Amino acid sequence: MTVSTVLRVRCMGLIRWGVVVVAAAVLVPICLPGAHGRVLADGAPIVYTLPAGWTQSDEQAAVAAATSPDQSIRIIVRYFPLPSPMTAMQVIQKQKTKVKHDRVVTPPTDMSQLKARFNADSVAKMQLSGVTTEGGKFLYRAFAFVKGRNLAVIEAIVNTKAGEAVFKQADGTVNSFRFK
């Protein structure tokens, strides 16, 4: 059984619409551990908030990961020191080539006009749709933030069960992000 729905996606205050088809009850796998409340990442010069009530888990190469109570969204926060200077747009463009997808919903977009809001040097985002190994579809959203040689990426894997309230909770993680 497949489910098709139109989702209203809020990305940094911008509203996007997209049609997503997924196998019923499929949680798109992704990676990341999480926590709720204001979090200061150990050893990383970043702070962010994960939604209260979301299930936290461990994920390799992630600072935090959490899944919504209805299991429709998984968010992942990653931090890396950059070996050489890069912009957030370069990071997002590179990530686009790594994520298996069948459609670009929002192409890599420079959002550096918002860099002061995140205390960053550059900000970029993208949204892709892809197919799970079970044949269902999902959305992949990524926001990259660069400050000096520090990179933070917030990823979200979304299936069609995600309602507007859950999207707003996930967006809260992006909106709460700051470099120290």
Structure confidence by residue, pLDDT tens digits, 101-139: 999 999 999 999 999 999 999 999 999 998 888 877 899
Q: What does CATH list as the number for 2-179?
A: 3.40.1000.10
The Cα 146–Cα 162 span in angstroms is 29
Q: What pLDDT does residue 42 have?
A: 55
Phi, psi angle pair for 166, to nearest 5°: -70, -40
Residue 4: count of CB within 10 angstroms of its CB: 10
pTM of the model: 0.74
Phi, psi angle pair for 82, to nearest 5°: -85, 135
User: Could you tell me the two tokens for 145?
Assistant: 């933030």
Q: Cα Rg for the chain, rounded, in angstroms?
A: 15
pLDDT under 50: residue ranges of the chain: 1-41
Closest listed residue to residue 120, CA positions, set 157, 86, 156, 96: 86
DSSP, res 114: G
DSSP, res 112: G
User: Could you tell me the two tokens for 139?
Assistant: 């959305």
Domain ranges of the chain: 2-179
Cα–Cα distances in angstroms (integers) from residue 69 to residues 16, 29, 73, in the given order: 23, 15, 9
Closest listed residue to residue 153, CA positions, set 90, 82, 92: 92
